[in-house]
Amino acid sequence: MTLAAGIPQNQAKVAAFLEQLAGAAPIQTHSSAIFVGRETAWKVKKAVALGFLDFSTLAARTHFCRRELELNQPAAPGIY
């Protein structure tokens, strides 16, 4: 498998590992990569700054991952 374009270089090792676990290339958006395995999915927020969002630092990605969980867990507890 070849890691799809769009993953920032500083996240390439993690993405390659997740791609191997999933067995397929990630589904990508402008800000995330989702690795879908047989029974599990992993979402990685890309280390990007796009003007309308800034995930360029680990602290920012951590903050927004926690916020996403906070917002989505009540509606989909079996998924989050």
Question: Does 3 fall in a domain?
Answer: no
Tens-digit pLDDT profile for residues 1-12: 445 578 999 999
Question: Does 35 fall in a domain?
Answer: yes
CA 28 to chain centre: 8
Question: Does 1 fall in a domain?
Answer: no
Count of domains in the chain?
Answer: 1
pTM: 0.85
Tens-digit pLDDT profile for residues 26-60: 999 999 999 999 999 999 999 999 999 999 999 99
Residue 78 confidence (pLDDT) above 90: no
Q: Give the whole-angstrom CA distance, residue 19 versus residue 4.
A: 10
Question: Does 63 fall in a domain?
Answer: yes
Q: Are 34 and 42 in contact (CB under 8 A)?
A: yes
Its domain, for residue 19, covers: 9-72
pLDDT computed for residue 3 by the predictor: 56
Q: Residue 43: helix, strand or coil by DSSP?
A: strand
Question: Does 51 fall in a domain?
Answer: yes
DSSP H helix total and E strand total for the chain: 2, 3
